[in-house]
Structure 1
């Protein structure tokens, strides 16, 4: 093997390592952005649930209650 062939082989191996490094980096970035997106969606759902709960009428809250009001009535 000549020196030129050794350099080309090294260059191709190095290029592949660079490409793999870039792909791994991109993969971790995508995982992080997906995790952030899911967390934002979760926070949004919790906020909507709190707003909905705060806007319920007394009648709705009473109907959702598990207490049997007839047992307190005598």
Structure 2
């Protein structure tokens, strides 16, 4: 068995060089769309977390609000 020596050109060949340019553009488009969808999902989740946090704040009892307050009666003597 002989080992074939690869030239520098063969080593530098990437996958994109072997793919059809239309297919490459299509794959890039799919990647871009998936990235955009992921960002939209993350933004929607963040908005949902904010809405839930606001709802919890809105539904707190007076006792919970009082316990979270940093004010003390000594400040108003």
TM above 0.5, yes or no, is yes
Shorter-chain TM range is 0.7 to 0.9
Q: 1:53-68 counterparts in 2 under 5 A?
A: 53-68=57-72
Gaps in structure 2 of 5+ consecutive residues: 1-16
Superposition deviation, residue 49 in structure 1: 0.3
Query: TM-score when scaled to structure 2?
Result: 0.71
Selected match of 1:43 from 39, 44, 47: 47
- Number of residue pairs matched? 60
Unaligned residue ranges in structure 1 (runs of 5+): 1-12
Equivalences for residues 1-74 of structure 1 within 5 A? 16-72=20-76, 74=77
CA-based RMSD? 1.5
Q: Pick 1 or 2: higher relative contact order, CA cutoff 8 A, min separation 6.
A: 2
TM-score, structure 1 length as denominator?
0.74
Flag as ranges the 4+ runs of structure 1 deviating above 4 A: none
State the shift of 1:21 in Å.
Answer: 0.3
The SS at the match of 1:63 is helix
